[in-house]
Structure formats: C-alpha cells, structure tokens
Chain A
Amino acid sequence: MPRPDANPWIDQIGWIIVLTTPVGVLVHGLMRLFFAWGKD
C-alpha cells in the first residue's frame, strides 16, 4: 500500500483548533476559579 500524503490544510486547521481548545478550557477554568474566589 502506498503511504498517503498528509493534507497540509487539514493538518494546519486541525492543529490550530486542537491547540486552541485547551487554551479555551484553561481560560474557562481560570474564570471559574476567579469568580468563585471573589465570592468567598
């Protein structure tokens, strides 16, 4: 079986979204901590 080539578009868009998701998660988590801390 020949080894298929990667599609640079799929790789670039994929990695951008995949690496952006943990950043979004981190911001969401930090905001939760911040607002919870403000209430105590």
Chain B
Amino acid sequence: MSQVKLFTGFERFWHWTQAILIFGMLATGFEIHGTYTLFGFEQALDYHMILAWTLIGLWAFAIFWHLTTGEWRQYVPTGKGLISMVLYYAYGIFSGEAKPYHKTRRAKHNPLQRLAYLGFKVAIAPAIWISGLLLLFYTDWNKTALGELTSLQMVAWVHVAAVFALLIFLVAHIYLAATMGQPWYALLKSMVTGYEELDQSK
C-alpha cells in the first residue's frame, strides 16, 4: 500500500466550493419555490443569484481545468466492470467480498461512479443552469420564437425536477463517499488531503 495523490489542490477547492454553493442554492432555491420561509422571498432570490453566478464562474474554471489537464477522461463511461460494481453494492458488500475495482491515479472512479458523475455533469447540472438562466432572462426571450416553444411555467418545472434529481444524487454520493472507504472515512479524507492509500501491486 502506498500514499497516492488522487486529487489536486484545484480539484479539492472546486469540489468543496461547489458543495457549499450547491447547499446554499438549495436552501435559497426551496425558499423561492415556496417550500418554507427563511430569508424572505426577495432576499432569498438575491442570494440565489449571487451563488448562481459564483457557481457558473467556478464551473467555467473547472471545465477549462478538465479540458487542459485531460482529466475529463476520468468520466468517460465504460461497461467493463459495471455489472460487477452493481452486484457488489447489491450483494457482495454484505457477504464481505472484496471491492471488484482497484482505482489508480489514471482511473480513480469505478464504472458506476463514472456514470453517476457524468450524469451530474452532462445532464443534471446543465438542466439546472440552462433552465435557471432562462428563468433569469425570461423577459428577453418570452416574446421571441423560444417563447412560442416553451413557457416560464415549463422552464420552472424543468428547473425543479432537475433539482430533485440533484438531491437524489447528493444523498447517494454523500452516503457512498462518507462510508465506502477503507477505513470507512478514507474517501472523505482523500477529498480533504488529496491522498489515499492504494494497493499499486494490482
């Protein structure tokens, strides 16, 4: 076993800043949606906008980083080993089987993780920010051809549905990230320190 640096300083900064911004957007977003009252509608909307533009800025840097470092390859989906990961989480983990995937610096996510993170990056996140920007700039497009195709109502529903998908992703992500390491907190720790103990003989 040896200590391997899996997450660079930028990745960790991006991950935790994104997490804080997303939780802030969830708290303000559900208030805007009418689920509860915390700051008041106007204030919640102001905070939501500030957090949204900050997150869009962070994502611009993250996309640039992924493209220039080639790290986008970590999210290319693969069917190889996918079924064995599903079977491991559904059965093998209870009977004490070894995890059927050995991560390396070049492939640090198992096939299920790749799919989940790719789904977040190319489906859930874009659905949220595209619908969010459409909501923000509604008065600029409602009298154009786009206004004929869709409505404010429809865009708001897409925004909310995508947020529910994000919440499901978050619950599963936090559970797996916080408890699946060896020891249980190892994955969480690696996203703080950048390092994880890996068996490189495999």
- A contact set with B: CB distance below 8 Å: 1-2, 4-7, 10-11, 13-15, 17-18, 21-22, 25, 28-29, 31-32, 35-36, 39
Q: B161 — which chain A residues lie within 8 A by C-beta?
A: 10, 14
Q: B138 — which chain A residues lie within 8 A by C-beta?
A: 1
Q: Decide yes or no whether B164 CB sits under 8 A from chain A.
A: yes
Q: How far apart are the CA atoms of A25 and B155 in the complex, in Å? A: 31
Interface size range on B against A: 20 to 34
Q: How far apart are the CA atoms of A14 and B159 in the complex, in Å? A: 12
| A7 touching B157 in the complex, CB below 8 Å, given contacts A29-B179, A32-B93 | yes
| A25 touching B172 in the complex, CB below 8 Å, given contacts A6-B34, A10-B157 | yes
Our pick among B89, B156, B167, B179 for the contact of A4 (Cβ within 8 Å) is B156
Q: How far apart are the CA atoms of A9 and B139 in the complex, in Å? A: 26
Q: B157 — which chain A residues lie within 8 A by C-beta?
A: 4, 7, 10
Q: Which residues between 172 and 192 of chain B lie within 8 Å of chain A, taking CB atoms?
A: 172, 175, 179
Q: Which residues between 43 and 59 of chain B lie within 8 Å of chain A, taking CB atoms?
A: none
Q: B156 — which chain A residues lie within 8 A by C-beta?
A: 4, 6
* Residue contact A18 to B160, C-beta cutoff 8 Å: no
A-B contact pairs, 7 of them (CB 8 A): A1-B139, A4-B157, A7-B153, A7-B157, A15-B164, A28-B89, A29-B175
* Residue contact A4 to B164, C-beta cutoff 8 Å: no
Q: How far apart are the CA atoms of A20 and B94 in the complex, in Å? A: 21
| A17 touching B152 in the complex, CB below 8 Å, given contacts A1-B139, A25-B175, A39-B96 | no
